């Protein structure tokens, strides 16, 4: 089969060992690449005995079969590991150029094990693989490190950590191409624990499709569809991802002041419209992407950078009660330079603000204090003062001060910008997320708010389980190919299957792809079960289950999780305890997990 190089680069930082091992092609067919292949490899490599910040944990960087073909958005890649924030499976993906360039080096995946004695950079070029000293880079920010290592858009690409990862901050991101992030679950801390500052890739190999004519036809057709859709050709390029800020606020589902309210009175000031009107310099695109949703912005103090996108604008905005767009934007830049997950950072600051207002921590912090935002981020990256608590993530911080219920997280992963009391299906997505509360693994914004593909009642619970499951499986397969989910606004799974067929030379149908998605989702579920997670972890913060929204269009609602969960387990072919049944595991070619499921 074409599409895969058939090679995995396996580096052990403890002894400097560098090996090239063959990719099991049956594994590739079943899990494709990206998140799926990462989960399958992690299953074998990292068991429940492994502490996430120990040398025994691994980082697995994976591309997919379509990566670097030039198919629209075929730039993305994935990292898999065990999360130091959640102790669940960790997967995160990112765009830009680095993933495409890793594929061009001739490897489908890169496994990094062990721990270097002192800081190192891995360099993968046509001349070979080398481990280089990084003493001079340790302590530097992401921007300086990226420049120092010779980032060059289409030729040489840098992935690295900032001070947050070095200081083992549990919400630290890995950054690539300067301002793109593998953010959620603390992968930056895992990289820091290995004394690995950066990975530089330079490649020359091409991912040539097996059926060139069909591939070119699909490239043309996909381009037409992306251009014809007002979502991908107008909405995202004109206003970026933050254009949804106002609609989510309008329906009463924009979490405000640590989810104490569900509408922010100044949402418009931090919206996509405000970004376009006030700070936008130009759009930018990832490699091979015609959508161009990235915003290059400049603040009044002449600072320039990428973003903020929707989640970051919300996290430092509504979640913290802050309406100062310039400060929010600079907070986003600073997180990129420190190497921090903006969602977890903003959410954790909001949690600290509520703890302080309630007198649970000895600090004069309160909602709306824009002037404190940048210092709080720096203090987290360097573990100074209250930043030392925030570096542990909101759950550990809130628990330390006796109020774990004030952490707006699931499985310790901070929630993104949706109040599920106003979007019941989103509550089910968050509660069942394999990496914790996550909007990237089955977002219900489409069906519950934007009528994509059609509108369903956001307050209804019955029937949501099936829709959530399909969205979760679809997201899992897109993350395994690896495509950007925004292509799915204009292009259906059928097109992904036809493109995969053209690239690999082997027939894949849309049904095959959805089964890959279900297989990946189920394997992640079993990974967490092996780690000791049970149905008791499929839950939401008490506030969302028991405190009705106090005003606005979602007034009076809590999340009715129990009936949705019961329906969800049944729809997925799991038992009442949320454990996949043996026949389901056999159907998904996951027989090797049966012992774990029923131990």
Partner 1 sequence: MSDIIWLTLFDREEVRDIMRIKLFGGLRQTAGSPEFEVSGATIREALENLCAGNEALRAAIFDGSVLRPHVRVMVNGRDCELESGLETAIFQNDQIAIFPPIAGG
Interface residues with partner 1 (CB under 8 A)?
Answer: 230-232, 234-236, 238-244, 246-247, 250-252, 268, 272-273, 293, 309-311, 417, 439, 443, 445, 449-452, 455, 457, 486, 489, 552-554
Contact 123, 132 (CB under 8 A): yes
Other C-beta atoms closer than 10 Å to the C-beta of 498 total 21
* Residue 416 Cβ vs partner 1, minimum distance, rounded to whole Å: 8
Q: Which residue's CB is nearer to partner 1, number 211 or number 238?
A: 238
Torsion angle of the four alpha carbons 113, 116, 119, 125, in this order, in degrees rounded to the nearest 10: -50
Q: Which residue's CB is nearer to partner 1, number 149 or number 428?
A: 428
Name which of 492, 510, 516 is nearest 587 in CA terms: 516
* Residue 272 Cβ vs partner 1, minimum distance, rounded to whole Å: 7
Name which of 69, 95, 77, 88 is nearest 36 in CA terms: 77
Other C-beta atoms closer than 10 Å to the C-beta of 422 total 27
* Residue 236 Cβ vs partner 1, minimum distance, rounded to whole Å: 6
Q: Which residue's CB is nearer to partner 1, number 21 or number 455?
A: 455
- Cα angle for residues 466, 470, 474 (degrees, 5° grid): 170
- Cα angle for residues 105, 108, 112 (degrees, 5° grid): 90
Q: Which residue's CB is nearer to partner 1, number 70 or number 237?
A: 237
* Residue 403 Cβ vs partner 1, minimum distance, rounded to whole Å: 29
CA 403 to chain CA mean position, Å:
27
Torsion angle of the four alpha carbons 424, 426, 428, 433, in this order, in degrees rounded to the nearest 10: -170
* Residue 294 Cβ vs partner 1, minimum distance, rounded to whole Å: 12
Q: Which residue's CB is nearer to partner 1, number 130 or number 452?
A: 452
Q: At what angle do helices 424-432 and 464-481 cross, to 10 degrees?
A: 50
* Residue 170 Cβ vs partner 1, minimum distance, rounded to whole Å: 24
Q: Which residues pair with 297 in a beta bridge?
A: 280, 305
* Residue 332 Cβ vs partner 1, minimum distance, rounded to whole Å: 15
Q: Which residue's CB is nearer to partner 1, number 273 or number 363?
A: 273
Q: Which residue's CB is nearer to partner 1, number 167 or number 347?
A: 347
Backbone angles phi, psi at 257, to 5 degrees: 50, 65
3-class DSSP assignment, residue 157: strand
Q: Which residue's CB is nearer to partner 1, number 9 or number 549?
A: 549
Contact 326, 353 (CB under 8 A): no
* Residue 331 Cβ vs partner 1, minimum distance, rounded to whole Å: 19
- Across the beta sheet with 294-298, what order do the strands follow? 280-284, 294-298, 304-306
């Amino acid at each position: 089969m074409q599409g895969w190089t058939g090679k995995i680069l396996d580096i052990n930082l403890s002894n400097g060992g560098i090996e090239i091992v063959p990719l099991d092609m049956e594994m590739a067919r079943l899990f494709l690449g990206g998140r799926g292949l990462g989960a399958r490899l992690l299953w074998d490599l990292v068991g429940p005995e492994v502490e996430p910040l120990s040398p025994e944990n691994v980082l697995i960087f994976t591309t997919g079969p379509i990566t670097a073909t030039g198919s629209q958005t075929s730039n993305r890649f994935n990292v898999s590991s065990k999360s130091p924030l959640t102790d669940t499976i960790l997967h995160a993906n990112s765009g830009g150029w680095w993933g495409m360039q890793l594929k061009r080096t001739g490897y489908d995946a890169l496994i990094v094990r062990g721990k270097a004695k002192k800081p190192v950079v891995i360099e993968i070029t046509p001349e070979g693989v080398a481990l280089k000293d990084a003493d001079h880079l340790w302590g530097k920010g992401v921007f300086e490190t990226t420049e120092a290592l010779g980032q060059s858009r289409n030729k040489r690409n840098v992935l690295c950590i900032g001070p947050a990862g070095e200081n083992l901050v549990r919400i630290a991101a890995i950054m690539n191409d300067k301002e793109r992030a593998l953010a959620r679950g603390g992968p930056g801390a895992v990289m820091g624990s290995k004394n690995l500052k950066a990975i530089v890739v330079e490649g020359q190999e091409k991912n040539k499709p097996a059926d060139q004519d069909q591939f070119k036809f699909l490239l043309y057709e996909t381009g037409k569809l992306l251009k014809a859709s007002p979502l991908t050709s107008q909405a995202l390029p004109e206003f970026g991802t933050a254009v949804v800020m106002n609609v989510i606020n309008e329906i009463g589902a924009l979490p405000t002041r640590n989810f104490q309210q569900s509408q922010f009175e100044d949402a418009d000031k931090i919206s996509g419209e405000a970004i376009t009107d006030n700070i936008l310099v130009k759009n930018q695109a990832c490699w091979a992407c015609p959508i161009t949703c990235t915003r290059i912005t400049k603040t009044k103090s002449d600072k320039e950078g990428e973003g903020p996108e929707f989640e970051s604008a919300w996290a430092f905005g509504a979640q913290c009660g802050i309406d100062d767009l310039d400060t929010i934007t600079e907070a986003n830049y600073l997180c990129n330079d420190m190497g921090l997950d903006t969602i977890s950072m903003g959410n954790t600051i909001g949690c600290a603000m509520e703890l302080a207002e309630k007198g649970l921590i000895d600090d004069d912090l309160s909602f709306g204090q824009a002037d404190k935002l940048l210092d709080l981020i720096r203090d987290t990256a360097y573990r100074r003062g209250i930043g030392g608590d925030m570096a542990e993530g909101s759950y550990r911080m809130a628990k330390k001060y006796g109020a774990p219920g004030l952490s707006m997280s699931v499985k310790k992963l901070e929630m993104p910008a949706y109040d599920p009391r106003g979007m019941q299906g989103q509550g089910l997505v968050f509660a069942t997320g394999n990496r914790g509360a996550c909007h990237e693994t089955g977002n219900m914004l489409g069906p519950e708010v934007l009528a994509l593909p059609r509108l369903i009642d956001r307050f209804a619970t019955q029937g949501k389980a099936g829709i959530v499951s399909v969205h979760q499986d679809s997201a899992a397969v897109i993350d395994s190919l690896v495509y950007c989910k925004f292509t799915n606004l204009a292009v259906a799974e059928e097109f992904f299957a036809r493109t995969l067929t053209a690239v690999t030379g082997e027939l894949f149908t849309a049904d095959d792809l959805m089964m890959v998605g279900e297989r990946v989702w189920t394997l992640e579920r079993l990974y967490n079960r092996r780690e000791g997670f049970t149905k008791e972890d499929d839950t939401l913060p008490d506030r969302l289950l028991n405190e009705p929204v106090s005003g606005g269009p979602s007034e009076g609602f809590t999340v009715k999780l129990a009936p949705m969960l019961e329906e969800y387990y049944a729809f997925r072919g799991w038992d009442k305890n949320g454990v996949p049944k043996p026949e389901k595991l056999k159907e998904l070619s996951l027989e090797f997990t049966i012992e774990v499921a029923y131990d």
